[in-house]
Structure 1
Amino acid sequence: MLRAAYGLPLAPQQQEAFKAVAGGRLAPTNRVKELWAVAGRRSGKSRVAAAIAVAVATVEKHLLAPGEIGFVLVLSATVAQAHVVFSYAKAFLEESPVLRHHLIDATKSELRLTGNIIIGTHPNSFRSVRGRSLLAVICDETALWRDDSSANPDLEVYRAVKPALIASGGPLIGISSPYRKLGLLYNRHRDYFGVSDPNVLVVQGASRSFNPLLDEVGINAALADDPESSRAEWEGEFREDIAAFLSDADIDQCVDHDRPLELPPRNGIRYFAFADPSGGRHDAFCLAIGHREDERVVIDVLRGQMPPFDPHEIVREHAAVLKGFGLRELVGDNYSAEWVSTAYKSAGIRYVRSDVPKGRMYLENLPAFTRRTVSLPDHPTLLRELRLLERRTHVGGKDTVDHGRTGSDDFCNAVFGVLHSCSMKRQTLRYGTIGTPNANGVHQFNELDPKTGRPISRDPYRNPLSSEFNGCVTGKGPDAELSLFNAQRGIMRRIR
């Protein structure tokens, strides 16, 4: 693979091996500008990334101006993965009698070499790579990159490093296990795999194609136990059972860029609220408030506190916001800790655990995005979480929706909770005899909660013919027939 990427001649046996992982394309005759390797787990990706970085930094010749520092960057998904690549690169230099004289100094993440060249191993960040003279960029596990400020960190990094690589003529190399069919790795595979392009080479292969020492029996057992996941892990195939839950077009069309981040409360509007609590260590503590306008649902307020924080202080802040919108009740995620209900109760808010799991809320309220009947604030964290939601199809055809491996959906959960609450019509069933007083001369009227079937306590002396019961008509006796709200006589059913 590396010989082909550098345009070196291949022996007949190497030609066959190359075609097997390159989709049958012809080997390049010159060094390609981009190399993308889609490989399974334990295929030596991090070690190869380190080897390429050392080769570019020590073997190739670079023209640098006096005082200019050339960087060979290895960007990984996490700090821990970056350290793995760093350890490999440092070992290559220290253990080689030919290369060790190039190493001048080593820090926690950089290797300083002769000729004003630095090998840097860092977590991916499109901000930190700008303003450097880049001799090469090696992207490790790009399919699994995550960033709190972007839904597409791989694309952002690519855009940030490409101008510097064009200036230096250096290569861009991406090495990763596949994941879902989204992102820069998948786009490059879709457009260039099997295509004899002189500038871009894409190879794809199973773990054993790159590392034949792996246990074949163990891999086959994993494939039999979990075919979909194992095909991505060991066979190097993009997952068919995971897809983006929402398209970028659906999300963008639902964002109101002209409104402020929060809308003030208005009189005569019925608001709904949903919270996604957190203990303050790992997840965000989020609150969303919204209302319905005809067929549209407007998210008026969306707040979230990232950890660490004092959860009781957040509850008090939420209570003040809720009371400002005339709310004394809050629906929330079925959070296990009992302190959530107690804390909200002490702040004057009744906390009701949602009886609908979040995956079901996501699926049931998907039409709100496809029909553009939701108005969202231009909230960066919310939009990033929406773009990263994954829809999984399980054996038997059941779909679930959740965040990815290292993502989060706290803001999404709060918004979809409000969408669910706004879509539920509150119903009550009222029955009694209207126009016929009881023994004490008082009109008797009862009301049932449709969820529990139990009577709702009301003041028995309230006049049922007041404005609260507009539309009621008097019946002729206790045997009047049950009818709907717009019935002309008898006992009434009213939907509020």
Structure 2
Amino acid sequence: MTLLDAMEDPNLFAGLFPDLESWLAWRAFIAAAFGLPMSAEQLAIYRSCTGRTEPPSQQMRTMVLVVGRRGGKSRILALIAVWLACFVDHSKYLDAGELGVVQVLAADRDQAKVLLRYVKAFLHRVPMLHRMIKRASQVGIELSNSIAIEITTSSYRAVRGRTVVAALCDEIAFWSSENSVNPDQEVINAIKPAMATIPSSMLLIASSPYSRRGVLYRMHKQYHGVDDALTLSWQAPTDVMNPTIDRDFLDQQYSEDAASASAEYGAQFRSDIEAFINREAIEAVTSDEHERPYLSEFQYHAFVDPAGGSGRDSFTLALAHVEGGFSVLDVIREVRPPFSPEATVQMMAELLKAYSIRKIVGDRYAGEWPREQFSKHGITYEPSARPKSQIYSEFLPLLNSKRCLLLDHQKLFSQLVALERRTARGGKDSIDHAPNGHDDVANAAAGVITSMGSRKYRYDCTMAWALPSEPSKDDRSSASEYVSRLLRSRGL
């Protein structure tokens, strides 16, 4: 029996796919994934979606699936997970007492819950599979055949130390991590050794596309249209994989924002989004210090990005000073939710007073309450006159010309590298974090660095800011000397 047979079997999955004809494209995908015979109609879909000519004759070890939203991929991922866990015999590759794992990794907890509900539906509504359930938890189900299906968020820690018989990565283009620049690549790097002892294992990387970077884009670019024996890339718009979707809805999405709709529903990688900051530029001005103490000879400045404490945003504060023409970042504070706004403001105010700061600049969208709370502690809160995109635009030339000195702070580094420049239909650029990401720490740091003194830094298309300047030794401060030594040590 094959998975395609199981989808038509009334004792198995037929009841879960009542309109089987609408799943024609997905059946072609399943045939390609497992090296099954195809009908002429399925073969035509296969060639259109893969750019390949000949269908596979064996199971693929790696599948790259680029499909538009509402195309049905989460349901199919759950179906494949159940099939691989319940119907494929992995016992000869497992030692006595060893538990093989089918891992389904999602972008966040909410998406993980959706996948878990699909998996439970397939198992509970098929009596013969329901009897295989040994125990169930909030993160998965252990079966009687020494296989467990686990649904978890995207983290390489969830993979290490396991024997993975299959890994299905959902919405991988939107994975983000506060502690990693490349969470998708780290997870894939951790998965491959965990699958090395299982010849029948399968890695399935699936997502609607986003920007032209990351594992999904690189693997699609490498394997799409290539007749590789082990890896296949499948790309299809929403209406190909799900012909029941409302065409009027799709037409409306394209008319409102063609660039976004072509990615979300047309399965095309976006060309209007690019990385804003080069990681090497950040590394070049990052010191080995985590925090700098107060020194009375300097005047310190602060920028705060407040948050209410009940959502997902952190309350962040950054302190800095100007020394010898360099903007020197001294302190970063982050309070992650949940937290008390009043207690957090009090803690921040005490830190500000320790650096002799009585006036701060803050995010302009925070409302009136930060001003009121800080005023209770003798701190004047001034809303920033600059939107976030302008702050980042002014920060970039300071960074690239090496006129600032940052702290060794992993979250600051990760958030800066993850910033994206988006070009709107009118040609205007905006700079912000990626979907599912955050930039609270980066916003505070860039905000204080670009708000000190009277000089306003704007992007200079003449590139004059990139030319090195050589102040006399008498003019060099300890910060500038430090930066010079740092750059020389790195060959810059």
Q: TM-score per shorter chain, which class?
A: 0.7 to 0.9
Encode CA deviations 1:371-421: one digit per residue, 9 max, x unaligned.
Answer: 232221121221221122221111221111112222221111111111211
* Offset, 1:314: 2.5
User: Contact 1:245–1:391 at 8 Å: present in 2 too?
Assistant: yes
Q: Distance in 2 between matches of 1:99 and 1:81?
A: 24
Shift of 1:335: 4.2
Quick one: structure 1 residues 29 and 294, their matched pair in 2 at CA, closer, same or farther if it must change by over 3 Å?
A: farther
AA in 2 matched with 1:204: Q
Distance in 1 between residues matched to 2:189 and 2:453, nearest whole Å: 41
Q: Is the 8 A contact 2:178 2:415 kept in 1?
A: no
Bigger mean CA deviation after superposition, 102-111 or 238-247? 102-111
Is the counterpart of residue 238 in structure 1 residue 269 in structure 2? yes
Name 2:68's counterpart in structure 1: 40
Between the aligned partners of 2:338 and 2:117, the Cα distance in structure 1 is 32
Alignment equivalent of 1:222, drawn from 253, 271, 280: 253
Correspondence 1:415-430 to 2 at 5 A:
415-422=445-452, 424-425=454-455
- C-alpha change, 1:100 and 1:327, in structure 2 (3 Å) is closer
Give the structure-2-normalised TM-score: 0.81
Kindly indicate whether the alpha-carbon contact (under 8 Å) linking 1:299 and 1:415 is maintained by their aligned counterparts in 2. Answer: yes
Match of 2:292 in 1: 263
Superposition deviation, residue 97 in structure 1: 5.3
Describe how 1:38-117 pairs up with structure 2 within 5 A. 38-62=66-90, 63=92, 64-96=94-126, 99-117=129-147
**Residue 138 and residue 420 in structure 1: after superposition, are their counterparts in 2 closer, same or farther (change >3 A)?**
same
How far 1:47 moved relative to its partner? 0.9
- The answer to which of 184-193 and 328-337 deviates more is 328-337
Question: Corresponding residue for 2:282?
Answer: 251
Q: Find the aligned partners of 1:401 and 1:98 in 2 and give their Cα distance.
A: 53
Q: 1:460-479: per-residue Cα shift (whole Å, max 9, x none)?
A: xxxxxxxxxxxxxxxxxxxx
**How far apart, CA to CA, are the structure 2 residues paired with 1:350 and 1:29?**
71
Alpha-carbon contact 1:25-1:195 (below 8 Å) kept = no
Distance across 2 between alignment mates of 1:16 and 1:176 = 23
Number of aligned residue pairs:
424
Percent of aligned pairs with the same amino acid: 39
Does 2:55 align with 1:22? no
Per the alignment, residue 17 of structure 2 pairs with none
Match for residue 128 of structure 1 among 146, 158, 163: 158
Q: 2:160 is paired with a residue of what secondary structure?
A: coil
Residues 1:272 and 2:297 are matched in the alignment: no
Match of 1:8 in 2: 36
Which of the pair has the greater relative contact order for Cα pairs under 8 Å at 6+ separation? 2
Corresponding residue SS for 2:205: strand
The reply on whether 1:351 has 2:381 as its aligned counterpart is yes
Work out the CA distance in 1 between the residues paired with 2:450 and 2:381.
16
Q: What TM-score, normalized to structure 1?
A: 0.81
- Per the alignment, residue 395 of structure 2 pairs with 365
3-state SS of the aligned residue for 1:365? helix
Q: Which ranges in structure 1 are unaligned for 5 or more consecutive residues?
A: 427-496
One-letter identity of the residue aligned with 1:269: F
> Alignment partner of 2:302: what SS?
strand
Q: Is the 8 A contact 1:33 1:171 kept in 2?
A: yes
Matched, 1:207 2:251: no
Q: How far is the alpha carbon of 1:200 from its aligned partner?
A: 1.5
Point out the structure with the larger strand share. Answer: 1
Larger mean CA deviation between 310-319 and 35-44 belongs to 310-319
Contact 2:294 2:355 in 1 (8 A): yes
Question: Match for 2:55: what amino acid?
Answer: A
Indicate the RMSD between aligned Cα atoms, in angstroms. Answer: 2.0
Question: CA–CA distance in 1 between the matches of 2:195 and 2:123?
Answer: 24
- Structure 1 residue 305: Cα displacement: 1.0
Match of 2:478 in 1: none
Secondary structure of 1:167's match?
Answer: coil
Show CA shifts across 1:427-475 (max 9, x none).
xxxxxxxxxxxxxxxxxxxxxxxxxxxxxxxxxxxxxxxxxxxxxxxxx
1 CA distance for matches of 2:137 and 2:334?
Answer: 37
Aligned to 2:466: none
Q: Is the 8 A contact 2:159 2:194 kept in 1?
A: no
Alpha-carbon separation, structure 2, partners of 1:288 and 1:25: 56
Q: Structure 1, residues 304-344: CA drift from partner, whole Å, max 9, x if none?
A: 11122222332233233223323222111124433322332
- In structure 1, the partner of 2:480 is none
State how far apart, in whole Å, the 2-side matches of 1:371 and 1:26 are: 52
**Structure 2 residue 447 is matched with structure 1 residue 413:** no
Residues 94 and 281 (structure 1 numbering): CA distance in 2 closer, same or farther, change over 3 Å?
closer
Q: Equivalent residue for 1:480?
A: none
Q: 1:313 to 1:96 in 2, by over 3 A?
A: closer
8 A contact 1:141–1:176 mirrored in 2: yes
Whole-angstrom distance in 2 between the partners of 1:108 and 1:391: 38
Distance 2:332 2:437 in 1: 19
Q: Point out the structure with max Rg over C-alpha.
A: 1
Structure 1 contact 290–298 (Cα < 8 Å) conserved = yes
Q: Pick one of 319, 340, 358 that aligns with 1:310.
A: 340
1:145–1:153 contact (8 Å) kept in structure 2:
yes
Aligned-partner residue type, residue 294 of structure 1: G
CA contact (8 A) 2:420 2:431 kept: yes
Moved over 6 A (4+): none
Matched residues in 2 for 1:108 and 1:368: separation?
48
SS in structure 2 of the partner of residue 378 of structure 1: coil
Query: CA 1:394/1:121 → structure 2, altered by over 3 Å: closer, same or farther?
Result: same
Deviation at 1:270, TM superposition (A): 2.7
Distance 1:226 1:130 in 2: 41
Which amino acid in 1 is paired with 2:370? V
Which residues of structure 2 form unaligned runs of 5+? 1-28, 457-492
